[in-house]
Amino acid sequence: MLDVRGKGRDFYPFKLENDKGDIVSLTTYKNKILVVDFWFTGCSPCMQLNEAMQPLFERYMTDSLVKFISINLDASKRVWLESLKTGMYTHHTGINLYAGGSQLNTTDTNTIITYYMLKTFPTLFIVKNGRMYSSNPPLPLLSDGQNVNIGSTKKLIDLIEAARLDAN
């Protein structure tokens, strides 16, 4: 079986709707480092991750190379849009995409959800130049979120910085 999550593998070539109604594709972010987060409304760990990620959002807010992409899996687009308004699941500077609705109930094995066999949430990936850089990055914790120099928050920052320096 092909390891679609292996480092260097092409990331799924998504084309998803953003919160403004525009279609956004992976190719939009050519030559970027993407921190891709999959979540759904009502997911407590997803809310906790968003809160723990705040120092990273602030750190990379003006960095044109690093982008945070939030991909929602809600069955209802209306629920997704309402959740975005709360700010509990995503940061206002992130790129919010919708992969829910019909994709959740499809037998099409080419959707991003089935392609990566997403079953636990939140799920985080690091993508560099359209290729998987890490399919299992460390998730920041609220306990170390206030200090980016300790714990898993530091490890995630170190991974993003390693992606920046990696020639591949």
Tell me the H-state helices in 32-128: 44-52, 54-59, 77-86, 112-115
149 or 163, which is more confident?
163
- What is the pLDDT confidence band of residue 143, given thresholds at 50, 70 and 90? confident
The tokens describing 153, both together, are 């928050």
- CB-side neighbour CA atoms (13 Å) of 36: 29
The tokens describing 8, both together, are 């260097």
Rounded-to-integer distance, Cα 60 and Cα 40, Å: 24
pLDDT of residue 103: 55
Backbone angles phi, psi at 129, to 5 degrees: 50, 40
Q: What is the mean pLDDT of residues 13-24?
A: 95
**What digits encode the pLDDT tens for the residues 79-137?**
999 999 999 999 999 999 999 865 555 545 558 888 898 889 999 999 999 999 999 99
User: Distance from first CA to last CA of the chain, Å, rounded?
Assistant: 24
CA distances from 21 to 26, 133, 154 (A): 16, 28, 35
